[in-house]
Structure formats: C-alpha cells, structure tokens
Amino acid sequence: MRHLLIYDMIEAVHRSGSIRKAAEDTNITASALNRRIQAFEQEFGSEIFERLPRGMRLNPAGELLLHHIRSQRQDLARVNSQVADLSGKRRGHVKIACSQALLPYFLPRQISDYRTGFPGVTFAVNVRDRIQAERDLVNFESDLALVFEPAHMVDFEVLHAVTQPIMAIMSRDHPLAQRSELRLRDCLDYDLVLPGPHYGVRALLDRAAQRLGRRLEPVIETESFEMVRHAAAFGQSIGFQLPVGLSAVARPELAYVRISARDIAGGELLLGHLRGRTLPVAALKFAQQLAKALDAVTVPA
C-alpha cells in the first residue's frame, strides 16, 4: 500500500543505520530518501532520527513511531487474514520464534501438516534463545514463541504449557545407555557436551549440579543443539536435550535416558504471544495445532 511506503523507508534506515545503505536497499537515491525522511519529520512534527557522524539512529520519538508502525502492520495482517477466512481461503504469514531444539523434527512436521490443509499460509521460523524470543514478540518480529524456561515473561501471554524432562543423550555403546533412568551425578564423570549458559536446559543443569555441590565442566560448550546431538554420538560423551528435540527413529545410533526427577523435575515449554495482542487467524489456528501436538510428545525410548 502506497501510504505505507514511507514506513518501509524509515525501517530501512533504522536497520542499516545510514541513508546511503538504506537507499541501496530501497532502490532510491540517497538524496531522495533523505528528502522523504525530512518531509515526514516535518509533517509528523518531530525529528525521529539522530544524525550522527557515522550514520542515523532512531531517537526516543522514533522508537515510539517504529513500535506504532509495527503494530499497525500486524493489525493490517490480522484483518487481511480474517477477510481471507471469510472466503474460505485461509492466507497469511506466520512468524514463530523458537529454540533450536524444535527445529529438526517437531516444527517442520507441524508446518507441513498445517500447510496440507492451508497451502496459502507461509511461515518464517526465527531461531532464538529464551531471551531473544520474548524480545521478538515485543518488536513484532514474531507472532508466536515456543520458549523453554523463559527468563522474564513480562510481555509473554501463555497459550499452552507442557513440562519437558531433561534427557541425557549418548552413543548406544555408552556404559550408561541401558539404564532406564539416570541420576545427574552418574553423568558428571563423563565428557559433557552442553549448550551455552543462557539456554533453559543449561540453567536447569547448572542449578541441579550446584545442589550436588558440583560444577558442570563441559569439554564442548556450543550454541548449536545439532552439535550436542552429533558430539554425543561419539566416544563416551553425554549431552542433554528435551524430548521434543529428539527422534529415536531419525537417530538410531543415539540412546536417550531421562534424568531423574529427584535431580531435575523438568522445565516448562511455553507457547505464547505478545501480551494483549490479537493474533491473525492463521497464527491463532497454528497455535491451536501446536498445543495439541505438544501434548502428544512422548519421551523417546
């Protein structure tokens, strides 16, 4: 829509931090873009950018305006989604922020199942940790978030919650692989492959180790859950993940053993959205599907 063009330009300058780079992104000359921004500021009644020696940065008024722009766009998307549903042809674009743990098995299947019934709906999957996911919601960069053990929850409205136990993952040949359950202390004498401290799984493990008077000392610490799975497949390393991120069928070389609830009771995997926001139809219906699927997740044998 033409009246939203200036909003695209403002966001482009905000993202790039300079008129020149934003002009390249929006296929307009830098001088023309600068004139459009200045004309908008004059009409708006306030400057929205700080002009710095090395670029442009939103001032407080600009931050408020950007939040309004994103909110307005989301409202328009919601109305478009509702209108499409009236005709029986659901359309829309669902943006979801989630942990890497949901990526390899759970979320791709859920998106595929949803699009079987509603092929007009597209998706954007933003890989985020638990802090970034909540920030995504506030900035309207995601409609939904799947968050394990969220850090703040000030702006997070919970739609559904499930408890996920912590699973130790290891090679099928590992000495502990045949156990039906493990105490955390059983694992600490082996090489540990752990996600970084800001992930919910790691936070639960750190607290449990402290209660034992121990400290986790990983031989590999990584931002990649895929790395945790791969590294645990070799030698006598042990990694830790959630059941929702594991598949005994896809990874038959790995064994999954639950950590005893006496050490870690498990954590909450929460599905939610920005508090006070009305979701577009496509996002709301996908959230309802996710809630049912999360309830059906089982612990791999």
Fold of 166-265: D-Maltodextrin-Binding Protein; domain 2 (3.40.190)
Identify the residue with better confidence: 281 or 77: 281
Fold of 2-58: Arc Repressor Mutant, subunit A (1.10.10)
Structural tokens at position 130? 């638990």
- What are the boundaries of each domain within the chain? 2-58, 70-161+269-295, 166-265
**pLDDT of amino acid 147:** 86
Same fold, 2-58 and 70-161+269-295: no
What dotted CATH number matches 70-161+269-295?
3.40.190.10
**8-12, 79-83, 213-217: lowest mean pLDDT where?**
79-83
Going through 90-214 in order, the beta strands assigned E by DSSP cover 92-98, 121-127, 144-148, 156-164, 167-171, 192-195
Identify the residue with better confidence: 90 or 12: 12
Residue 27 CB contacts under 8 Å (≥ 6 apart), including other chains: none
Distance CA 267, CA 4 (A): 42
pTM: 0.70
For 169, counting Cβ atoms within 10 Å of its Cβ (0-12 exposed, 13-18 middle, 19+ buried), the class is buried
